[in-house]
Amino acid sequence: MLPLQVLRNGTPDVPDPSMSLRAGPLSLEYQGGDLRYVRLGSKEILRRVYVAVRDHNWDTVPCLLSNLEIDAREDSFRITYDAEHRQEDVHFIWSGLIEGDDDGTLRFRMQGKALSAFRRCRIGFCILHPMDCAGVECRIEHVDGGTDETRFPQQIAAQVMENGHPCPVTPFVDMKSLSHRVKNDLWAEVRFEGEVFELEDQRNWTDASYKTYGTPLALPFPVEIKKGTEITQAVTLSLKGSLPAAEVVSTGNADTHTSISITEDLLGPVAPLGLERVESSTSWTAKQLNRLRQLHLSHLRTEVRFSHEGWQDELRRAWNEAQQLNAQLEVALFLGEDSETQLRDLAALLEEVRPSVSAWLVFHEGERTTGGTWVNLVRRHLSRTGRQEVIGSGTNAFFADLNRDKPAAEVSDVISYSINPQVHAFDDASVVETLEAQKHTIESAFQLCGDTPVRISPITFRMRSIPHISGPQPKPLPGELPFQVDPRQMSLFGAAWTVGSLSRTLGCGLHGVTYYETTGWRGVMETEEGSALPQKFLSIPDAVFPLYHVLADVGEVRSGRLLRTTTTDPLIVDSMAIRHDKGLRILVANLSGETQSVDLHLPLSAVLARILDDTNAEEAMVQPDDFRRETGERLEITEGRLSLNLRPYAVARLDSNG
């Protein structure tokens, strides 16, 4: 039997516990040296305040806490601790002091010292305003004494580049303080000390926040920190104006149940869903092929990198694999310097192979976002073979790149970009938070592209490469995973997160969505011999991962249409509902590490409920066919309400023929 923590998170490492605190009218969470979810009643004011140490490659250096002391009272608190960041040549320590007063004032101070000489890109506070601040009035006090009155960006603000440097969002620069309207004449002011701060729109990378940070990006980076350098910074949050009635701001939500409502409001058809193939000469076993067929995939993504030897054989293998799955190919073309010759070679191969392609995604090795010249060039060469398939452009990287360099929508049949939830933060809560922002990137992409359809390819748990790194991509340390691999993908957390992602993407009118790989560390199932993972991580040879069952549940009803679902707390529980020709299928996911009580409001009389959680996950992984044959327990719905208790990261599948 696998340990519960490994089944839930893919690793035995236990996340830092969180603690609920109050500062007068404000409620908040303390976790691992950070402040999270600062709220006035149900209104979120700040999402997170934390200290980051970023090395010369923008890598976040982990923090080890010690000497933690918490004095928590009914309406105030005081926290002190010591923090140490140590990785390779980086050695930086600091002492933290966090205080919350009964008038709603929060103060966070850090005093640090470099114990070694190293190069850094950033050291200091990051303050996250929630995504719900979009369009909200704000006031800026600049370090020169000037002021600005503006609003948080409504549409995702591009991070433009000047002279090779990324720029903040204007006028959120050279800031001494930033205030925003909470309600009526009540404002929340964040005041900064010890550094000059500016802001970026983190929705560009699916972080559900606006981030205020120091040091300004206009200054050179990375820079050397000499041994003995001291750094002191402070952040203070104050409420300015008239507070609502005390009973309104202090009681919060007394109902501990999360509520989900499902209506017959049709959103759109289920978008074509695919996976990315693994570049390998190893064929699938009969068992693997049967399991992949049960996903009912629309397409299989493959990459053609003309700079790599053997690309012709890889394309042949890819088409053979797609045919075995009764799927089309999605082909990502990476052009190089001699594009004319490369495309002539491709055209000659297509006369022999003749694959069915749902979309050609055109990229160039020298560009982050595809220029129209390359789309026209590919179209010209493919048309000579008689092919009239979809030819698209965009970026193989983040929405940020699409937003920075506008796509060639006027000459493209489709525009694409990729998504991963771990560009800036990696803890469970931050990864879950990114789900809300996925749909925001889709909506902004539609605005950028006009009438040109949008495709997301691929969605992965980790970055596939680090685009800003100087030098070769990092190699894993002994006993550790490659940076592209997240053990949570192989766990119940991965299944719950996948439900949340699918609920944001599948009904938005996308041209197609590609997730994960077929097999291996970044796939939906283990290889037959296993992936040689370090022992502490989750690995069962020849088993599927829990998220496999989520994708199979959706694949079985892929001809359906999504219904509108709403949840009272999308950071805790998420859901999706698909109306298909035989009835209704609902997936409900607990996104938290605690058991949750969920009330579903359904226009039904009964459902068949099958729950995937830590009591049966290992069996579902090892014997997936048996698990998929289970129809579930019949549950009666009383007065349109069904109550479920979901264990940590559990996924419930509810079926009705009504």
Distance CA(492)–CA(354), nearest Å, equals: 40
Number of H helices and number of E strands within the chain?
12, 36
- Mean local confidence (pLDDT), 127-148: 97
| 264 burial type by CB count under 10 A (0-12 exposed, 13-18 middle, 19+ buried) | exposed
- Mean local confidence (pLDDT), 187-216: 97
Give the pLDDT band of residue 253 (cuts 50, 70, 90): very low
Task: Say what the pLDDT of residue 2 is.
Answer: 83
Q: Bridge-partner residues for 634, per DSSP? A: 608
What's 435-487 look like in SS3? HHHHHHHHHHHHHHHCCCCEEEEEECCCCCCCCCCCCCCCCCCCCCCCCCCCH
Task: Say what the pLDDT of residue 519 is.
Answer: 94
Give the pLDDT band of residue 534 (cuts 50, 70, 90): low
Sign of the dihedral through C-alpha 10, 11, 12, 15: negative
Sign of the dihedral through C-alpha 442, 448, 452, 457: negative
Q: Is pLDDT at 88 greater than 80 in this prediction?
A: yes
pLDDT digits (tens, 9 = 90+) for 12-60: 888 889 999 999 999 999 999 999 999 999 999 999 999 999 999 888 9
- Mean local confidence (pLDDT), 475-499: 89
Class of domain 258-263+562-656: mainly beta
Give the pLDDT band of residue 396 (cuts 50, 70, 90): very high
- Mean local confidence (pLDDT), 238-249: 77
Task: Say what the pLDDT of residue 658 is.
Answer: 73
Domain boundary assignment for the chain: 4-251, 258-263+562-656, 271-556
Given the structure tokens 């920075």, which residue do they identify? 404
Distance CA(137)–CA(20), nearest Å, equals: 29
CATH dotted code for 4-251? 2.70.98.10
What's 324-363 look like in SS3? HCCCEEEEEEEECCCHHHHHHHHHHHHHHHCCCEEEEEEE
Q: Is pLDDT at 585 greater than 60 in this prediction?
A: yes
Q: By three-state DSSP, how is residue 499 classified? A: helix
For residue 392, give both structure tokens: 């698209």
- Mean local confidence (pLDDT), 281-306: 94
Q: Is pLDDT at 430 greater than 80 in this prediction?
A: yes
To the nearest whole number, what is the mean pLDDT of the chain? 93
CATH of 271-556, one of 3.20.20.80, 2.10.109.10, 1.10.3720.10, 3.40.50.300: 3.20.20.80
Task: Say what the pLDDT of residue 471 is.
Answer: 64
Q: What is the DSSP letter of 254?
A: -
Q: Which of the pair, 564 or 245, is modelled with greater confidence?
A: 564
Rg (Cα) of the chain, in Å, rounded?
25
pLDDT-wise least confident of 132-146, 374-388, 532-546: 532-546
Cα dihedral 220/222/223/226 (nearest 10): 160
Given the structure tokens 């892929």, which residue do they identify? 558
Task: Say what the pLDDT of residue 536 is.
Answer: 62
Strand residues in 348-443 grouped as ranges (E): 357-364, 391-394, 414-419
Task: Say what the pLDDT of residue 335 is.
Answer: 96
Q: Is pLDDT at 477 greater than 80 in this prediction?
A: no
Please give the model's pTM, rounded to 2 decimal places: 0.95
Task: Say what the pLDDT of residue 251 is.
Answer: 44
Q: Is pLDDT at 254 greater than 50 in this prediction?
A: no
Q: Is pLDDT at 1 greater than 90 in this prediction?
A: no
Q: Is pLDDT at 103 greater than 60 in this prediction?
A: yes
pLDDT digits (tens, 9 = 90+) for 309-321: 999 999 999 999 9
What residues contact residue 327 under an 8 Å CB cut-off, 6+ apart? 274, 297, 298, 299, 300
Q: Is pLDDT at 475 greater than 80 in this prediction?
A: no
* Helix H or strand E encompassing 584: strand 583-590
Buried b / exposed e across 65-98, counting CB within 10 Å, b at 16+?
A: eeeeeeeeeebbbebebebbbbeeebbbbbebeb
pLDDT digits (tens, 9 = 90+) for 299-347: 999 999 999 999 999 999 999 999 999 999 999 999 998 999 999 999 9
Task: Say what the pLDDT of residue 611 is.
Answer: 98
- Mean local confidence (pLDDT), 406-425: 95
Distance CA(179)–CA(106), nearest Å, equals: 14
Distance CA(249)–CA(129), nearest Å, equals: 19
Distance CA(7)–CA(491), nearest Å, equals: 5
Q: What percent of the chain has pLDDT over 90?
A: 83
Give the pLDDT band of residue 473 (cuts 50, 70, 90): confident
Q: What percent of the chain has pLDDT over 70?
A: 96
